[in-house]
Amino acid sequence: MRSLSKGLQRIVKLIEQDIRLSFQIPDSQNMSSVLIGYDTEAGSTIEASYEPLKILEESINSLISLHVKEDVPATFFVVGKTLQMGHKVLKKLREYGGLFDIQQHTYSHTPLKSIHPRNDIAAISNDLEVNGATPSKIANEVRKTNELLSKYLDVKCTGIRGPWGYYQGLVDRPEVLKVLKENGIRFTSTYLRNKEDFFPVPLSVQPFTYKDQGFPEIMEIPAQDWIDCCWRVVYGWGRTRAFSKHLTNVLDKVASKKLVWGTCFHDWSVITMDHELEVMRTLFQTAKSKKVKVMSYSQYYNQAG
């Protein structure tokens, strides 16, 4: 905290207070689990635009080695444009049976809903005001990416991560849910922001279905706590060990309250200043030691549905 500005310290304090207040034990008998998700977007966002194919190759190769060695599954939410550029690299994920689950992250990293972070938060995090796309644009983006996943990887896509993430996911966007349903989507991971349109999302937010919106067949699997790159932008990219410690603290809560924790890492950010993937290795090993089951998003969806 010492290295944070006063304004930022105040915001972090407010957010932490919010977590304490809203943290509740959900009505669930499920075993505690952590779902591993990588938004795979090299070459499709500003942050991931430097030598994208090289970054993608290094990241995917390193992640495959680690996941195979630790025998833990993961979901890769792939942007269509990244797939067009790097399908030869991403195809390797298909060589390991069911270990890797491949879903989509739209064709061009298009937001499914608008985001309006407070000005002070936006200033410290480089987070931008973003306008959600129209349902017809979303339909095109999702359909096109489905076709690319089928063509290059022989994958039938049923899940989507919403680019940027939104407060309360798609509960107020039935028109978007309709389009997703028509394009075969059965689980969404879009609830990635708290009521400040920022991070972290409290762990009391647990998976739910959109039955109140008329779509009981679609499950929302939120990604709580912090998106990895945003934690590191706010607290410091060089603080790898502090980030690991933070994730261990989250795992402690997940284990003791029997919760489901959806994570959001990125192809480009996991290897930034952590080429040996120490953060991910520590997360997997700590989860195992605390008897928290490590799963992919699809495994969770299939088990819960």
Residue 252 corresponds to which tokens in the numbers above? 């402690």
- CB-wise, 32 or 220, nearer to Zn ion? 220
267 binds Zn ion (CB under 5 A): no
Q: Considering only the stretches 4-12, 36-44, 80-88, 182-190, report the one whose residues sit in contact with Zn ion under the rule CB under 5 A.
A: 36-44
State which of positions 107-166 bind Zn ion (CB under 5 A): 163
> 215-220 and 208-210: which strand pairing?
antiparallel
Q: Considering only the stretches 7-15, 35-43, 88-96, 230-238, report the one whose residues sit in contact with Zn ion under the rule CB under 5 A.
A: 35-43
- CB-wise, 32 or 189, nearer to Zn ion? 189
Q: Considering only the stretches 38-46, 66-74, 151-159, 220-228, report the one whose residues sit in contact with Zn ion under the rule CB under 5 A.
A: 38-46
State how far the alpha carbon of 209 is from the alpha carbons of 35, 106, 112, 215, in Å. 17, 21, 18, 7
Please report where in the chains the tokens 């290059």 appear, as a residue: 152
What is the signed CA dihedral for 168, 171, 172, 174, rounded to 10 degrees?
150
| Neighbour-count burial of 69, counting CB atoms closer than 10 A to its CB (0-12 exposed, 13-18 middle, 19+ buried) | exposed
Comparing every residue's Cβ against Zn ion, the nearest one is 39
- CB-wise, 39 or 225, nearer to Zn ion? 39
Q: Considering only the stretches 31-39, 134-142, 232-240, 270-278, report the one whose residues sit in contact with Zn ion under the rule CB under 5 A.
A: 31-39
> Shortest approach of Zn ion to residue 40 CB, angstroms?
9
Q: Considering only the stretches 18-26, 40-48, 55-63, 297-305, report the one whose residues sit in contact with Zn ion under the rule CB under 5 A.
A: 40-48
> Shortest approach of Zn ion to residue 14 CB, angstroms?
26
Show the binding pattern over residues 188-207: x = contacts Zn ion (CB under 5 A), - = does not.
--------------------
> Shortest approach of Zn ion to residue 231 CB, angstroms?
15
- CB-wise, 163 or 200, nearer to Zn ion? 163
**Cβ neighbour number for residue 159 with a 10 Å cutoff:** 26
* Site size with Zn ion, rule: CB under 5 A: 3
Q: Which position among 8, 32, 34, 39 is part of the footprint of Zn ion (CB under 5 A)?
A: 39
Helix (H, G, I), strand (E, B) or coil at 82: helix
> Shortest approach of Zn ion to residue 279 CB, angstroms?
18
Rounded CA-CA distance 182/176 in Å is 10
> Shortest approach of Zn ion to residue 291 CB, angstroms?
31
- CB-wise, 232 or 292, nearer to Zn ion? 232
Residue 282 phi, psi (nearest 5) = -65, -40
Rounded CA-CA distance 137/159 in Å is 18
DSSP code, position 27: S
Q: Considering only the stretches 33-41, 138-146, 223-231, 292-300, report the one whose residues sit in contact with Zn ion under the rule CB under 5 A.
A: 33-41
- CB-wise, 41 or 220, nearer to Zn ion? 41
> Shortest approach of Zn ion to residue 18 CB, angstroms?
24
**Rg value, the chain, Cα:** 18
Rounded CA-CA distance 56/87 in Å is 10
Residue 15 corresponds to which tokens in the numbers above? 């957010």
Inter-residue contact 288 to 248 (CB < 8 Å): no
Rounded CA-CA distance 266/272 in Å is 10
Contacts with Zn ion, residue ranges (CB under 5 A): 39, 41, 163
